[in-house]
Amino acid sequence: MMRTSLLFALIIVTCCTISCTKEDEVIAIKKATNVSNGQAATMIAASLATSSYGLASIKNDITFYAKTLGTTSGKGCGIEDAFAFARQEPSMAANKYNYAVGYKNTVTCHDNLPDGLSSVVINNGSFDMATLSSIHSANSTISLTHLNDANTTNYDLSGVYQTSGTFQTIDATQLAGSSNINISVNNLLVKRSDRAIVSGTASVTLSGTVKSNKNTFEYSGTIVFEGNTAVLDLGGSKYTLDLTTGDAVAL
C-alpha cells in the first residue's frame, strides 16, 4: 500500500512538473517583447516569395517583359515605357495578396538591338500568410543585362528592393509594429528560357519597432540563391527560404 501511495505521488509530481514547464514555455512566448531571429527570417522570406508578391514576382515580371521584346526595342532604345496594373493571388491560393503596381522600363541597346533593361517598380498593398501579415509599399530599382547575348543563356539581374510598412505576426506572440527591409541583389542569373533562378547572392537588412512597447529590432544577413530556394544567414543562424511559399525553415 505504501509503495502504491509513493508511486501515485511521484506520478502527480512528474505530471505537475511537465505541465508547469509547458505552461512556462507558453507564458514565455506570450510575453515576447521583440521580433525573434526566426520571425525576422519569416519577414525576409515573405519579401522574396511569389505567394506574397515579393522580389521573385518582380523578377518574373521584368524577365517576362524582356523576353517579349525579342530583338525589338519595345517603345524604342532609351525611351521609358510606363504602365500600371493590379496584382492578386491566384484562385485557391493559400496565401493572399493585393497590390497596385507601377512599372517604368527603359531598354538600352547596342547596334540597335536591346541588350539591357532598367526597371523602376513601385507597388503598394498587403499580404496575408499563415504566420505573418503586412501592409506596405515596396520600391525596386532593377538592372537586367544579356538580353540578346549569344554567349550566355541567362539574364543577369542586379538591383535593390526595399519595403516599408506594418506587420502582424500570426502566432502565440501576436507582435505588431513597423518594419523596413532592404535587399541588395548581386548578379542573380536567371534562365532566359523559363525565367528560373540559376544562382546569385544578396545582402539584407531588416529593422523596425514593436508597436506595444516601442522596442526596436535590427537584423542583417546574406542570401545565397539556388533554384527556387535560398539560404539566409541571419546573424549566424541559417534558414532555407522557399521562394514560392515564403516558408523559412531553420537549418
14 domain-assigned:
no
Taken in order 91, 122, 154, 42, is the CA torsion positive or negative?
negative
Task: Name the residue range of residue 195's domain.
Answer: 32-250
241 domain-assigned:
yes
3 domain-assigned:
no
Taking CA atoms, 15 is separated from 10, 25, 239, in Å, by 9, 15, 35
123 domain-assigned:
yes
27 domain-assigned:
no
19 domain-assigned:
no
CA dist 231 and 233 (Å) reads: 7
Note down pLDDT in tens along the chain; length 251 residues: 444 454 444 444 444 444 444 444 444 444 678 999 999 999 999 999 999 999 999 999 999 999 888 767 677 889 999 999 999 999 889 999 999 999 999 999 988 888 999 999 999 999 999 999 999 999 999 999 999 888 999 999 999 999 999 999 999 999 999 999 999 999 999 999 999 999 999 999 999 999 999 999 999 999 999 999 999 999 999 999 999 999 999 99
Enter the pTM of the model: 0.86
The number of distinct structural domains making up the chain is 1
219 domain-assigned:
yes
Q: What are residue 237's phi and psi, to 5 degrees? A: -95, 135
**How far does CA 10 lie from the centroid of its chain?**
50
23 domain-assigned:
no
